[in-house]
Amino acid sequence: MPISIVVPQLGESVVEGTVAKWLKAEGDRVRKEEPLVEIQTDKINVEIPSPFEGTLSKILVPEGTTVPVGTEIAQLAGAGEAESVSAAARPAAAASASASATTATAAPAPPVPAVPATPARTEAGNGAHTDLAAAGEARNLSLAVRKIMREESVSLTEVTSISGSGVAGRVTRDDLLEYLQSRTGRPAVAGAPARAPAPAAPLPAFMAARIIEGAGGPREEMVPFTKVRRLIAENMIRSKHTAAHTHCFDEAEMGAIVALRKEWGPRLEAQGVKLTFMPFFIKAAVLALKEFPWVNGEVKGDALVVKKYYNVGLAVGREEKGLIVPNIKDCDRKNLVQLAAEVNDIAARARADRLRPDDIQGGTFSITNAGVFGAINSSPVINYPEVAILGVHKIVERPVVRDGQIVARPMMNASIGFDHRVIDGELAVKFLRRVCELLERPELLWFYA
Amino acid sequence: MSHLSVCHLGPTSYREGLVLQEGLARARADGRTGDWLLYPDHPPVLTVGRNPSPGNVVADAATLERQGIEVFEVARGGDITWHGPGQLVGYLVCDLDRQGRDLHRFLRSIEEGLIQALAALGIAARRDPGRTGVWSEGEKIASIGIAVRRWVSYHGFALNVAPDLKFFDLIHPCGLRGIHMTSVARQLGDRAPSLPEVRERVAGAMARVMEYPGWAWGEAAEVRGLALLETPVGPARNTNAA
């Protein structure tokens, strides 16, 4: 017996509600208490949770329709009935591809958001493109399936190779679990049943272009500077010609931060905040800047202006769109979670061309993470007129000597580019050492912060 | 019955505001905290509720981009509105059980709280049946939009204290044509109160109208902790004390 979902009683004077948004599609599994639909009345939007665990078998009222309180708007098949329902629905769904379906099932299914483009651990540049391209395939995967994919590191390409038992061949949670069971102990690719050959990972646009040209077209190509590229070029030359660039290098053992991130990353992710390493770098840099204030300065004429506020710039690579360095304001007054949220926000806006003028002005110090593209060391150029830039890199398991023994440790090289006109080597080295020390022993934050 | 906690969050991006509200609403639904009224200071932003009308944005994308104004689609009731400096935005994270799970009663209480606070400041404001919000001399002075999850409210109201009203020219506020926005500053001129004073008045009036035994200021750090952490972090027990 299907269970009816009705517009609930929302108050004495509330007689009707509008179906504002279906949060689940027909055929989706829902847990008890999981939000099912948003109902709107007057200026209030109410999320209606599912009363039971089961499968949303039928949506009876499409979005935008206003119905009286008590109206049945959907049907839910109980957990036990889920299989038979989806089996019964399959031929119907197939038929609707050619002929239009009966009015009862004509409600449009809301688009399911695609899988987050980059799995947390992807560090190489290419991975992101493959996942983005394949994200289209993921539109039909339920939240439960995507959760398992994340937890078990199943790629989208891999999932498309599974034969689905759901509506229109859709891969259900059970399909995936069954597949994972058969995959255990075998390498992921070999274990995939070869029903449909996995599509070759498409190349990033600019790479594809280059290969085609090489294959017979002209041997050279003229790419005019964009406005952004011209600005980058001017800034780089001004910086290199004005500041007396010098670099120093150090390294940090990252075990403690890696563990912190491993523990807190999923918790913050559940709250909508993705935790990268950058907030830790910012935190360590700001504390070191407080100790060595000259590094947080700017040359003006014959003077060094030392700044008592800490607006930390982040170099954001945007492929052919060009590098940009927006900054996060007043980092000394923000905790790690706030910094994480702002890092995500500002990087996303930088990539989407949605930065505000204020975002790229007023920086006092910058950090560049060449590690996201795989670099293990770099000599970064100062974001002039600042006087120093911190370079952070890929964290790599490396043999190191501890207590006379060779052991493997997650290590990261750190570099500093500084303006030797105003910052002596001694200051730069001490500053960099302090940053590394704070990363190696986060408990020092108790004494510094 | 516990009091209403009130917190001035200070500068808060709209995105951060959403994360905090949703986290705090979860904490409220789980019974980890009481009811809250949060005051964020948002940079200029346009937000669109679940009931948008076509053509509600007057300005073109380029204008918005130039002015650095982001547009957010949010799961609250209502159409489009503007938030930004000079406005008192109040998020109400309240367990609606104590409002008898009556959504309309909750809306009317919010309106009543704002009307009483404005009266104390010397502004005669009133309701306009059928048009949720608070009006003064035929112009709109406060907008309301609420979301409810697990019978806990979030989002809330926006009272124009002294914003640059030109921003409302970018949109048809609430999707209503020919509507004029006003503000406390416009109504009172030189006698206009400061934002901190309005924050206190509104908090007091809300607590009174919604029949809380009282209200008290809470710390932004506490809100962030409740919203972002699953297990409350409290001071560690001092085991050496004995």
Q: Which of A47, A345, A357 sits opposite B148 (nearest CB)?
A: A47
Considering the domain boundaries, does residue B239 fall inside one? no
Helix A255-270 / helix A278-291 crossing angle, nearest 10 deg: 120
Q: Which two tokens stand for residue A132?
A: 């983005």
The confidence score (pLDDT) of residue A117 equals: 38
Low-confidence ranges of chain B (pLDDT < 70): 1, 174-177, 229-242
Confidence at residue A101, expressed as pLDDT on a 0 to 100 scale: 36
What's the rounded Cα separation, in Å, for the pair A400 and A392?
Answer: 19
Selected for mutation to probe chain B from A18, A45, A263, A337 (highest B CB count within 10 Å) is A45
CB–CB contact A45 B76 (8 Å): yes
Please state which of the four CATH numbers 3.30.70.270, 3.40.190.10, 2.40.50.100, 3.90.380.10 is assigned to the domain occupying A3-96: 2.40.50.100
Shortest distance, CA A383 to any CA of chain B (angstroms)? 23
Residue B44 within any structural domain of the chain: yes
Q: For an interface test with A, which of B42, B76, B148, B219 has the most A Cβ atoms less than 10 Å from its Cβ?
A: B148
Chain A partners within 8 Å of B104 (Cβ):
11-14, 41-42
Please state, in angstroms and rounded to a whole number, the distance separating the CA atoms of residues B118 and B193: 11
B104/A contact by beta carbon, under 8 A: yes
- Burial readout A190-218 (b: 16 or more C-beta within 10 A, e: otherwise): eebeeeeebeeeeebeeeeeeeeeeeeee
The 10 Å Cβ neighbour count of residue A326 is 22
Contacts for B201 with CB less than 8 Å, ≥ 6 apart: B117, B120, B121, B193
Closest CA to A369 of A254, A260, A292: A254
What is the 8-class DSSP label of residue A51? Answer: S
Among A294, A301, A293, residue whose Cα is nearest residue A420: A294
Contact list in A for residue B73 (CB cut-off 8 A) is none
Return the residue matching tokens 């995500």: A344
Largest CA distance in chain A: 83
B88, B195 Cβ separation under 8 angstroms? yes
pLDDT for position A128: 36
As a whole number of angstroms, the distance between CA A383 and CA A312 comes to: 11
Q: Mind telling me how many Å the CA of A386 is from chain B's nearest CA?
A: 25
Please answer whether residues A40 and B78 qualify as being in contact, where contact means their C-beta atoms are separated by less than 8 angstroms. Answer: no
- The whole-number pLDDT of residue B230 equals 57
**A130-176 pLDDT, tens digit each:** 343 344 444 456 666 766 776 677 766 676 677 776 655 667 777 77
* 3-class secondary structure, B83: strand
Give the nearest partner residue to A337 out of B107, B145, B224, using CB atoms.
Answer: B224
CA A85, CA A79: separation in Å to the nearest integer? 10
In-domain check, residue B213: yes
Question: A44 vs B105: CB contact, 8 Å cut-off?
Answer: no
Give domain limits for chain A.
3-96, 120-219, 229-448
**Residue B123 counted as domain residue:** yes
**What integer pLDDT is reported at residue A111 of this predicted model?**
42
Q: Is residue A153 exposed (0-12), middle (13-18) or buried (19+ Cβ within 10 Å)?
A: exposed
Give the range of the structural domain holding residue B90, as residue numbers without chain letter.
Answer: 4-228
Number of domains forming the structure of chain B: 1
Query: Among partner residues B107, B229, B230, which is closest to A42 by beta-carbon distance?
Result: B107
Nearest C-alpha in B relative to A337: B228
CATH number at residue B88: 3.30.930.10
B49 touches chain A (CB under 8 A): yes
Active site residue A302: no
Whether residue B178 is contained in a domain is answered as: yes
Q: Is A424 a catalytic residue?
A: yes
Residue A38 with chain B: CB contacts under 8 Å: 50, 75
Tokens of A212: 């085609």
User: What is the fold, at CATH topology level, of the domain defined by A229-448?
Assistant: Chloramphenicol Acetyltransferase (3.30.559)
For chain A, what is the radius of gyration of the CA atoms? 27
Grouping H, G, I as helix, E, B as strand and the rest as coil, residue A106 is: coil
Contact A267 B229 (CB under 8 A): yes
- Point out the residues of chain A with pLDDT beneath 70: 79-144, 146-147, 150-151, 155-157, 159-160, 165-170, 183-216, 448-449
**What local confidence, expressed as pLDDT, does residue A448 receive?**
62
Contact (CB<8Å) A45/B228: no
Residues of chain A with Cβ-Cβ distance to B65 below 8 Å are: 354
Residue found by looking up tokens 């000599």 in the block: A379
Crossing angle between the packed helical segments A173-183 and A143-152, to the nearest 10 degrees: 20
Pure H helices in A184-254: 188-191, 205-214, 227-242
* Beta-carbon separation of A13 and B227 below 8 A: no
Which among A42, A271, A354 has the least Cβ separation from residue B19? A271
Of A14, A20, A345, the CB nearest to B50: A20
How many CB pairs (< 8 A) connect A and B?
112
